[in-house]
Amino acid sequence: MNLIIDLSQDNPRLALEENSKTIGKCQWDGIYQLSETILSELDKLLAAHGYTKKNIGEVKIVPSEKSMAGTRIAQAIALGLKTKVEK
Q: What is the pLDDT of residues 22-45, one digit of tens each?
A: 999 999 997 888 999 999 999 999
Contacts of residue 9, defined as CB under 8 A and 6 or more positions apart, other chains included, come to none
The 3-state DSSP class for residue 77 equals helix
Q: Which fold is adopted by the domain 2-82?
A: Nucleotidyltransferase; domain 5 (3.30.420)
Half-sphere exposure of 23 (CA within 13 A, CB side): 16
Alpha carbons 47 and 59: distance in angstroms, whole number:
17
Q: Average pLDDT for residues 50-67, to the nearest whole number?
A: 92
Tell me the domain boundaries of the chain: 2-82
Q: Is the model's pLDDT at 78 over the cut of 70?
A: yes
